[in-house]
Chains A and B, each alone.
Chain A
């Protein structure tokens, strides 16, 4: 289930465009909430569903800590716990 980083980033970018929260630069350390991307809980839930639809699993529903940064999402797909 490991994903190429650019594939994951493209899915995130597409979602952010949809919710009109595109950052100047989508860096690994960019927080998903607050002063970062500013996602609210519903948008995070929607992103979670988009990622699951695309990749079959998602870091928001995996049972661990909820991702806080873009890098947390990328890390989930790069080194899945069940790989």
Chain B
């Protein structure tokens, strides 16, 4: 899950500390998990979510994959290493590109490379990828239509787009945003300047852009135990986390987990996964 807003300058040492902390909390895969049961472990659950994305992406050896909002490059390296794909990871974060490039070098994955590009205006040539992979980055890109249009544009006909992210499950009236502005501010501080849209809206945009939506799945219930798992990891690594990012930030993260969990349970927010094929 990305945490850096476009254009934000984050000193390298701070960036590394923050990412070190998030890795302790979220695990190596750095995203939500899809839990078969509440007792499923976080690593199993995050692997299960990745696996769902892979089912939608149908990555074959040699496929060219565009990882939009690639974070620190873990997914891109795995796709290249495990599935033999040629992956280009893009992110607006310069530090993200540096960290991801270092990870690919450390793991000796020549099939994964990284460039600083904006997912809503990627500047890549038309029809040059087989798969567009958008894992928990779309909520940071305000213009969803531009993100989906650009990702489809660079796919060849028959190419697949897969996306998973936090979604909004009901309209949140202004009066409620105002009344709960403290909660929303806590979420923004912990997770960045996120804007959630309904899962159906993603699907509608994809259809309006001429793509065939093959999967549109609500994973809210399956992802709910993620928050308990993250809080558990905070408790297990509390001392180390305090030294990495400070106790205030750790407390803020736990508060954000509580708020999100309540939103998941009251039907305000949830989680969705989409797969679509570029037609024509």
- Cβ proximity bits B150-182 to A, threshold 8 Å, 1 near / 0 not: 000000000000000000000010110110010
B186 to chain A, nearest CB (A): 11
Chain B at the A interface: SS class: helix
- B180: nearest residue on chain A (CB-CB)? A45
A57 to chain B, nearest CB (A): 13
Whether the pair B195, A45 counts as a contact (CB closer than 8 A) is no
Whether the Cβ atoms of B195 and A46 lie closer than 8 Å is: no
Number of interface residues of A (CB under 8 A): 11
Q: Please count the residue pairs between chain A and chain B whose beta carbons lie under 8 angstroms apart in the complex.
A: 27
Cα–Cα distance between A40 and B193 once the two chains are bound (Å): 10
B12 CB contacts on chain A under 8 angstroms:
none
A residues in contact with B172, CB < 8 Å:
41
- The size class of the interface chain B forms with chain A is 10 to 19
Give 1 or 0 for each of A40-55: 1 = CB within 8 Å of chain B CB. 1110111011000000
Q: Which residues of A contact B (CB under 8 A)?
A: 40-42, 44-46, 48-49, 60-61, 66
What are 22 A-to-B residue pairs whose CB atoms are below 8 Å? A40-B193, A40-B195, A41-B174, A41-B177, A42-B177, A42-B181, A42-B184, A42-B188, A44-B174, A44-B177, A45-B174, A45-B177, A45-B178, A46-B181, A48-B178, A49-B178, A49-B181, A60-B174, A60-B178, A61-B175, A61-B178, A66-B174
